[in-house]
Structure 1
Amino acid sequence: MFKGRKSMFLLRNVKYKNILEIEELYIPEKMITVITGESGSGKTTLLKMLNKMITPDRGEILFKGQPLEKIDSVDLRRKVVMLPQFPVVFPGDVRENLIAGLRFSEKKIPSDERLREILEFVMLKKSLNDDPEKFSGGEKQRLALARVLLMDPDVFLLDEPTSSLDRETGIEIIRRVVDLVRKRNKTLIVVTHDPELRRFADRLIEMKDGRVLNGASGH
C-alpha cells in the first residue's frame, strides 16, 4: 500500500500488560497516520510507546530501523514529540510556555514576532504576557500545540488534539497542522475518537481491545 515509503516505526509482537497486543504494525514516514478506536482500545498506550514514555513487556519497536531500546530517551524525544490530551502548563506567561520545549531540545529561541505567528496559527488570541493558568481547557490545548509545533520535530504525536475544542475550530486547526506537516515533510500520528479526523489520514489504523483491526502491515 505504501510501496517505496520507509517506515518511521515498526512494531513486532508487542505486548503491554493486558492493554496492548500487536503482532505487527507499520507506520510510514512523512505521512499522516490517524489511529481511531473507542476509549480503552489502547490508542494512547501505543502513542506513549513511540517516544518511550512506557516500554512494552515484550516485543520490538523500531524507529527508522533502529530498536527503541538502543536509542537515548532524551535524544528520541527531541525527534519524536508528544502532545498529551491534557497538556501541562508551565510556570510563567505565554512566552515562557511557548519556548519551554525549545529550551528542552536546546534549539534557538525565536523572536516575539514568530511566537505571535504561531499563536495565530493555532487560533489562540492571547498576548505573550498572559497567564496560561487562567486559560480554558481548549486554550491550554492550543498553547501546548503551538509549543510542540515550534519544536519542529521529525515526528508529531498528537493525543486527542481536538478533545477540548469545538468541532469547527478543531477541524480547522488539524487542517492547518496537516498542511504544515506535508509542507515540511514531517510525520504526523494522531490518536482520536473523532470520526471527522479520518479524512486527513494517509493511513488509517483502527484499534479495539488493544489490537489492530485493519492493515497492520502495508510495507
Structure 2
Amino acid sequence: MRQVIKKLLHLPASFPDITIHLPHRAGGLGALELARVAAECQLKAFARLQRLNSSTIDAVLEGSLMDCRGALGDSLGVPHAISGAEEVFAAVDGARKEHWRQWKARYSNSSLFAFEGDRLGNRWLRPGAGHMGDGDKIKSLRLRTNLFPTRTLSNKHAADPRARLCRRCGQKEETASTYSRSVHLSRPRVARVTIT
C-alpha cells in the first residue's frame, strides 16, 4: 500500500515512510504521514471486504487476516467491531484528528521559541513542557536574564565606533552598567523580541 501511495505522489520507491509536507499552493495534501495513510487505506479496504457478505471472503478474513485488521485498528485507534462505511470513515477521521492534535502538542513544546508569547512567565517549567531539552531550558533562562548575548556583547568588537554607542543616550559606549544605571530613562524599556 505504501508503494502505491508513493507511485500516486510520484515519489521514488526508496522514499522513507515518514511525515512529509506537500504544500497546498503546489497542489499537495499538506502534512502527510505515509505509513499512517497506508494503514488507513488498508483498514478501509478490510471494512469494504467485510461489507461484501461473501462466505469465501469472510472465511479468509476470519482465518488469517483478522489479526492484521486488529493490529491496524489498534495502531490507528479505531474500534474493531465497526464495518459500515460511514462508521469507519468517521472513526478513521476522528483518530486522524486526535493523532495530529497529539503530534502538534508534542512538538509545540520542543523548542525554545514555543514560549515566545510568554517571555516573563514560567510556563516552560511546567510538566507540559517536558519535551524541552536541557539546552533549551538554559537558553530560556538566558533570554530572561542578562546572560543572553545582547547588543552590548555582539557590538563589542564592531569596527564602527557608533555601533557601540548607547541606544538610549547615544553619547557613551553601551555596557551593561551604563545601560542599566547611569543613563537617564528617556523612553519606556524596550521588550526583547525573539526572532523565529
Q: Same fold (TM over 0.5)?
A: no
When the two structures are superposed, what TM-score results if normalisation uses the length of structure 1? 0.20
Q: Which has the higher contact order (CA 8 A, sep 6+)?
A: 1
More helix by share: 2
The normalised TM-score by structure 2 is: 0.22
Give the structure with the larger strand fraction: 1
